[in-house]
Amino acid sequence: MGGRKGGALDPASGGCVLDNGEELGFERLILATGARAAGCPPGADLPGVFALRHFEDLEKISDWYAAGQS
């Protein structure tokens, strides 16, 4: 599915229409734009705040939610 662009996003219904007309549903959505954070803003050290740069970061986020911390 790689290489597709989102054409429309409806957070209320949990739907996204891709540029080829395919429709996807979601419960939660992460927008990964490919940019790097310029620095750590205030609050970046709070529990439940994560940077998502590497696969290991995704594992930390998954572990956090699996532990019922959400």
Q: What is the mean pLDDT of each run of 10 residues along the chain (70 residues)?
A: 78 87 85 70 81 85 84
Q: Give the per-residue pLDDT at 3.
A: 78
Q: Give the per-residue pLDDT at 5.
A: 83
Quote the CA–CA distance of 14 and 57 in Å, as a whole number. 24
Reduced 3-state DSSP string for the chain: CCCCCEEEEECCCCEEEECCCCEEECCCCCCCCCCCCCCCCCCCCCCCCCCCCCHHHHHHHHHHHHCCCC
pTM higher than the cut 0.85? no
